[in-house]
């Protein structure tokens, strides 16, 4: 149930929280970052998975990657475990991040095969790493429109990246990892365009040739299922539990990535979502509903726009000075930004990188983000969400989301086609893309006369377009996408 709030969102200080939360902070102030009195973390069902994920996850960047000289990243990870956070994110592209998790996991007895291994704790966390390799074998050809990024020597494909993650997080960082080590999920990281998707689906949409080129998805499936269809898993190891992808900027490509999955391979999506989302080609009315309808676990990121909401310029972080180490700032508390991301329909958890923890809970980013994340999916009203958007839009004139595509507004239905099926004349089309408001329906006209409406819903597969029967004699057919505000975008099949 949505709660009425005493204070307008623009006036709410990040320490003004519910009575229970305020009481928790008061108790904590007596003992620094002592978490004994902290309420249990709020959890949500993680898509179709049999896993209740905490609303706050720990990101593997910020000080865990670009560590300032006076910060030890290991206590950040340990403190997240003390708080009960159960979602952890890292990547092969994050420099020392995976090695810092190894140091923390050593202390937490999370290394399989070692004395005292805490298998129960390992089962109760979700550990995700990433690969930006698009090919599933070492023989990929160089292509300007397809990225293949890696941080490791001798890493030439997605399978190499998985094994590198395992040796860094659980092993000796020399290529060895213990029996029983696994990743809960590997994400195809930072998806950019449909050319990359074409590569990723090679060996699935095309015949699989173990001696030829094939994409990362079919190779990762081998590591998930313990099969060796690609020849890349000769020991039939099961090294990962789930496969997903991440994206920052291109909703149409991300939708395409989901719609082309006819094999049930994709089970998670990491996506940029913050209060300036609707100033851009937005995620919340486009790809997030498709991912939610298909049952993916949805993880939000970039709630502070990679600190561009605060001290740094809107560009990718790459050094310790870019790490933000305060809790909000006057005029822009962090709490409503966290709440906005977590009340975006479909989002299950939100990863946030931590610059530092502090003995003063009011200065401790991890503690404050933890409390901010204790919010139900409908914990902000529509009016309050608009208030947060107004607040965020005033930061750098709204130009914070450098990682997203520019706004284009409501897009007309795409790829209109008319064909005869079982004696019926069917018009089909692919989904429109939404602007500021969600699409609600499609209106169909034949020779200037309205012949029907089709309700919009997330399109799950490219092979299952929207359709309606139309008169065979119609010389001109028009389909209009209509959003919740009444805006129209029309496409005509002559």
Higher-pLDDT residue of 31, 308? 308
**Percent of the chain whose pLDDT exceeds 70:** 93
Higher-pLDDT residue of 24, 385? 385
Report the pLDDT value the prediction gives residue 35, as an integer from 0 to 100. Answer: 60
Report the pLDDT value the prediction gives residue 460, as an integer from 0 to 100. Answer: 98
Helix (H, G, I), strand (E, B) or coil at 466: strand
Helix (H, G, I), strand (E, B) or coil at 23: helix
Using alpha carbons only, give the angle 84, 85, 91 rounded to the nearest 5 degrees: 145
Q: How large is the average pLDDT for residues 321-345?
A: 97
Q: How large is the average pLDDT for residues 223-251?
A: 98
pLDDT in tens, 1-48: 333 333 233 333 333 333 333 333 333 333 345 565 789 999 999 999
Q: How large is the average pLDDT for residues 412-432?
A: 94
Q: How large is the average pLDDT for residues 340-351?
A: 98
Q: What is the DSSP letter of 125?
A: S
Helix (H, G, I), strand (E, B) or coil at 414: strand
Domain boundaries, the chain: 9-398, 414-493
Q: How large is the average pLDDT for residues 323-339?
A: 96
Report the pLDDT value the prediction gives residue 421, as an integer from 0 to 100. Answer: 85
> Is pLDDT above 60 for 138?
yes
Superfamily designation of domain 9-398:
NADP-dependent oxidoreductase domain (3.20.20.100)
Report the pLDDT value the prediction gives residue 15, as an integer from 0 to 100. Answer: 35
Rounded to a whole number of angstroms, the distance between the first and last alpha carbons of the chain is 49
Question: Quick one: pLDDT band at residue 151, thresholds 50, 70, 90?
Answer: confident
**Looking at beta carbons, which pairs linking 200-208 to residues 24 or more positions away fall under 8 Å?**
200/134, 200/257, 201/260, 203/136, 203/230, 204/263, 204/265, 205/260
The enclosing H or E element of 324 equals: none
> Is pLDDT above 60 for 246?
yes
Report the pLDDT value the prediction gives residue 34, as an integer from 0 to 100. Answer: 56
Question: Quick one: pLDDT band at residue 110, thresholds 50, 70, 90?
Answer: very high
Helix (H, G, I), strand (E, B) or coil at 200: helix
Contact 106, 163 (CB under 8 A): no
Same fold, 9-398 and 414-493: no
Please state the pTM of the whole predicted model: 0.93
Report how far residue 344's alpha carbon sits from residue 325's, in angstroms, rounded to the nearest whole number. 26
Report how far residue 362's alpha carbon sits from residue 357's, in angstroms, rounded to the nearest whole number. 10
> Is pLDDT above 60 for 276?
yes
Instruction: Find, among 317, 325, 290, 313, the residue nearest to 301 by Cα.
Output: 317
pLDDT in tens, 39-72: 999 999 999 999 999 999 999 999 999 999 999 9
Report the pLDDT value the prediction gives residue 154, as an integer from 0 to 100. Answer: 78
> Is pLDDT above 90 for 446?
yes
Q: How large is the average pLDDT for residues 401-429?
A: 95
Which has the minimum average pLDDT: 133-137, 220-224, 346-350?
133-137
Mean pLDDT, rounded, of the chain: 92
For the domain made up of 414-493, the CATH class stated in words is mainly beta
């Amino acid at each position: 149930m949505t709660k009425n709030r005493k204070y307008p969102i623009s006036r709410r200080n990040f320490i003004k929280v519910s009575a229970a939360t305020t009481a928790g902070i008061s108790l904590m102030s007596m003992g620094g970052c002592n978490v004994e009195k902290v309420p249990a973390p709020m959890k949500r069902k993680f898509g179709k998975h049999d896993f209740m994920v905490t609303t706050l996850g720990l990101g593997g960047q910020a000080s865990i990657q670009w560590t300032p000289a006076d910060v030890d990243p290991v206590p950040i990870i340990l403190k997240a475990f003390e708080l009960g956070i159960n979602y952890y994110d890292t990547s092969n592209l994050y420099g020392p991040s995976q090695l810092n998790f190894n140091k923390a996991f050593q202390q937490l007895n999370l290394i399989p095969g070692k004395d005292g291994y805490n298998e129960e704790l390992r089962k109760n966390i979700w550990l995700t790493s990433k690969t930006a390799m698009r090919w599933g074998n070492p023989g990929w050809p160089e292509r300007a429109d397809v990225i293949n990024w890696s941080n490791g020597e001798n890493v030439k494909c997605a399978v190499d990246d998985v094994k590198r993650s395992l040796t860094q997080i659980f092993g000796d960082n020399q290529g060895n990892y213990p029996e029983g080590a696994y990743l809960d999920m590997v994400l195809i990281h930072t998806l950019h365009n449909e050319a990359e998707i074409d590569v990723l689906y090679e060996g699935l949409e095309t015949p699989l040739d173990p001696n030829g080129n094939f994409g990362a998805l079919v190779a990762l499936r081998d590591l998930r299922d313990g099969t060796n269809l690609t020849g890349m898993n000769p020991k039939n190891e099961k090294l990962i539990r789930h496969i997903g992808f991440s994206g920052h900027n291109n909703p149409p490509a991300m939708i395409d990535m989901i719609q082309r999955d006819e094999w049930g391979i994709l089970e998670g999506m990491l996506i940029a979502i913050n209060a300036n989302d609707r100033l851009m080609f937005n995620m919340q009315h486009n790809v997030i509903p498709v991912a939610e309808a298909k049952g993916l676990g949805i993880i939000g990121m970039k709630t502070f726009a990679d600190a561009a909401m605060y001290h740094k310029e809107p560009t990718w972080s790459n050094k310790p000075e870019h790490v933000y180490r305060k809790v909000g700032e006057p005029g822009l508390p962090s709490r409503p930004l966290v709440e906005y991301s977590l009340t975006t329909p479909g989002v299950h958890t939100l990863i946030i990188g931590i610059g530092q923890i502090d003995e003063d809970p009011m200065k401790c980013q991890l503690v404050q983000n933890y409390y901010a994340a204790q919010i139900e999916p409908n914990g902000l009203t529509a009016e309050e969400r608009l208030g947060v958007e107004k607040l965020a839009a005033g930061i750098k004139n709204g130009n914070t989301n450098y990682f997203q595509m520019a706004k284009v507004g409501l897009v007309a239905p795409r790829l209109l086609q008319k064909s005869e099926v079982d004696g019926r004349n069917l018009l089909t089309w692919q989904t429109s893309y939404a602007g500021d408001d969600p699409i609600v329906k499609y209106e169909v006209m034949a020779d200037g006369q309205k012949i029907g409406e089709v309700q919009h819903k997330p399109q799950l597969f490219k092979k299952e377009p929207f359709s309606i029967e139309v008169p065979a004699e119609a010389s001109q057919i028009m389909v209009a996408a209509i959003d919740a505000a009444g805006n129209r975008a029309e496409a005509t099949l002559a």
